[in-house]
Amino acid sequence: MHIKMCSKKFLIFSAITAILLICPQIAQAENAPGWYNKGIDMFNAGKYQEALECFDKALEIDPKLMQAWTNKGAVMQVLGNYQEAVKCYDKALEIDPKFATAWLNKGSSLQMSGKPQEALECLDRTLDIDPKFFQAWLVKGVILDDLGRYEEAVKCYDTALTINPKHLDAWSGKGMALQNLDRYQEAIECYDRALEIEPNDLETLYNRATSLNLLGNYQEAAESYTKVLEINPQLATAWSNKGGAMVALGNLQEAMECYDRALEIDPNDVISWCSKGTILAMSDRHQEALKCYNRALEIDPEYVLAWKYKARVLTSLGRDKESIECYDKLLEFDPDYADTWFNKGTALVNLGRNQEALECFNRALEIDPKDPWAWSSKGWLLGKMGMTPIEVLSCYERALEIDPKHVPDWSKDNNIPLSELPEYKEAKSAVDGQGE
């Protein structure tokens, strides 16, 4: 099951509240505060280009109006022009180096520009000026989370929550950081606190469902994704993840319906194509599964799971030469993945290319010497190649040391362990006979 995460929204804070206290609305518009206040009205109305023009007018009249520079930066940030936004915040900070909101917004813009370390420095400057600045702790948590510094992110969200314990984004952000630490139950508790504040927050509902999925609580996860889809039935990732929960519950028909819905919304969703292919393969519909994997690889030729599952389906169809081509592709991506070497070896055995197969099993065991399947397959192959019983038995014994109840891939009866198979008994009898 492949679960898609919901990315957090990155928050932008403007200095509008503080500015309104400094520059109240006045009747005349032909002065800096008047243009500035008009710009705020445009900003709040979502008319960003008009807001920009108003802030420019204010700055023509008073180039030292720090708040106008800050809010012009906020408009640039909303419009995605992060480089210009940073320049505006720098202008504001030239006027007042201790203006915390400008440091905060500069950090936000730098983060959105892909400069997280510089962004953190700005957030630290913000908090040096105002250690109780709630939004700064919140944004710092977002940046640390994006950097993979999840424990530090949790601490930032905790600090934010001591300042404002009823803030949706703080609880939701803490939940995401805990989710990234694989602390799913704690994450769910945070999401529940967030949902007490806003019961229909789509992102929180989605991430809560994802934590339930990762925790293995598939029934509740499926129900949670259903609630997400009641709010937004066009969210392809929710359909896809619900499909994964349905697979885990053994409800393949409903899972297929979920993946089909996901692909109606997003025909380029490689995970849904791959997952749909897996359901078809589980139902022995291998040709249809192959089409799904091929479609996934048309969209993303480097999607490793599609190559892996395509190779398996080709083996099931008896097309071992083509499956080996898939394994070779996988080895280009990761030459040290033991399972790929093992599976390639199995396909080579099917083609009668025993020496090459043996080399693959040996390579798998170099990477993972505790793989019982590679040891038992190597032993079986050595027997087939006419090697000495002691060489064969040595491999079987290694497999049984690792797993005394090991059932080999090559066994015709999947319920009989290696220790009870005739191949093992014959090798052991021959070796014991040599010792007499």
Percent of the chain with pLDDT over 70: 92
Q: Is the pLDDT of residue 124 over 80?
A: yes
10 versus 418: the higher-pLDDT residue is 418
Q: What average pLDDT does the segment 379-400 reach?
A: 96
Percent of the chain whose pLDDT exceeds 90: 87
Is residue 133 left, alpha or beta, with left meaning phi > 0 and alpha meaning psi from -120 to 50?
beta
Which superfamily does CATH assign the domain made up of 8-130 to?
A: Tetratricopeptide repeat domain (1.25.40.10)
Tell me which residue has tokens 């040290």.
336
pLDDT at site 206: 96
Task: Report whether pLDDT(311) > 60.
Answer: yes
Residues 420 and 403: their CA atoms lie apart, in Å, by 14
Residue 157 near residue 142 (C-beta atoms within 8 A): no
Distance CA 369, CA 371 (A): 6
Higher pLDDT, 33 or 229: 229
What is the distance between the alpha carbons of residues 210 and 218, in angstroms, rounded to a whole number? 10
pLDDT in tens, 143-163: 999 999 999 999 999 999 999
Q: Is the pLDDT of residue 73 over 90?
A: yes
Cα 219 to Cα 330: distance, rounded to the nearest angstrom? 34
Return the structure tokens found at 243: 């499909």
- At 435, is the pLDDT very low, low, confident or very high (cuts 50, 70, 90)? low
205, two tokens: 């509902």
pLDDT at 33: 87
Instruction: Identify the pLDDT of residue 410.
Output: 86
pLDDT band at 433 (very low <50, low <70, confident <90, very high): confident
pLDDT confidence band for 31 (50 / 70 / 90)? confident
The per-residue pLDDT for range 225-246, each reduced to its tens digit, is 999 999 999 999 999 999 999 9
Per-residue confidence band for 409, with pLDDT thresholds at 50, 70 and 90: confident
| Residue 15, pLDDT score | 36
Q: State the pLDDT at residue 434.
A: 67
Compute φ and ψ for 412, nearest 5 degrees.
-75, -20
Tell whether pTM > 0.75: yes
- The CA distance from 91 to 73, in Å, is 10
Over residues 80-116, the pLDDT tens digits come to 999 999 999 999 999 999 999 999 999 999 999 999 9
Neighbouring residues of 262: CB distance < 8 A, sequence distance ≥ 6: 236, 237, 239, 240, 243, 269, 272
The yes-or-no verdict on residue 213 having pLDDT over 60 is yes
pLDDT band for 121, please (50, 70, 90 cuts): very high
Band (30; pLDDT cuts 50, 70, 90): low
11 vs 162, residue with greater confidence: 162
Quick one: average pLDDT of 310-335?
97
Mean pLDDT score, 67-76 = 92
pLDDT at 129: 97
Average pLDDT of 329-337?
97
Nearest-CA neighbor of 101 among 126, 120, 119?
126
Q: Give the number of C-alpha atoms closer than 13 A to the C-alpha of residue 161, restricted to the C-beta side.
A: 20
Is residue 361 over pLDDT 80? yes
pLDDT of residue 412: 73
Top-confidence residue, 65 or 24? 65
CA 167 to each of CA 120, 162, 207, 301: distance values in angstroms, whole numbers, following the listed order: 22, 10, 17, 42
The lowest-confidence range among 32-46, 152-166, 167-181, 182-196 is 32-46
Q: Domain limits of the chain?
A: 8-130
Determine the pLDDT at residue 432.
Answer: 83
